Amino acid sequence: MSSEHERQQSRLRSEQIEQSSDAPWADLELTVPNERSQLSIVSFVECVLVELTHEEVGAEYVSTNVWGAKRTQFIPIDDNGEMFRKRHYDERLGWHESTVSRRAVREDLISRLTRSSSQATDRSHDVPVNNPDTFSVKPARKLQMR
């Protein structure tokens, strides 16, 4: 058991080193809702798109509700960053994958990040959802279909 704990601690240390502030994309995180202006969100998304084009990273938007987590991931599939793999996961339905343009990614992210409430709170159900949606940029290898 202690060896498993040591492996987990070692992995966590490695991840922290990989995501240190030296990585230009390390601080590209945001919760929804947030207090940013529309212009600020647009600038943020443009920064994200630049990093997705120049680094081996992907973007992930996560919303959790009483039915489970929903994940939407964007990973570039060409060297120019003009086409992306969009992967969507719903715990009830599984994974769905499609190919989308850079423009579609830009519009999707701006739409999601400018919401005034969590995507999960937009659904009617008995149990309130207090957790905000989260957006982050991560190494592409960590965005494998889980």
Q: Are 95 and 38 in contact (CB under 8 A)?
A: no
Coil, helix or strand at residue 92: coil
For residue 123, is pLDDT > 80? no
The pTM for the full model equals: 0.77
Summarize pLDDT for 48-78 with one digit per residue, the tens: 999 999 889 999 999 987 778 899 999 999 8
For residue 24, is pLDDT > 50? yes
Contacts of 1 (CB under 8 A, 6+ apart): none
Instruction: Decide which of 97 and 16 is more confident.
Output: 97
For residue 91, is pLDDT > 60? yes
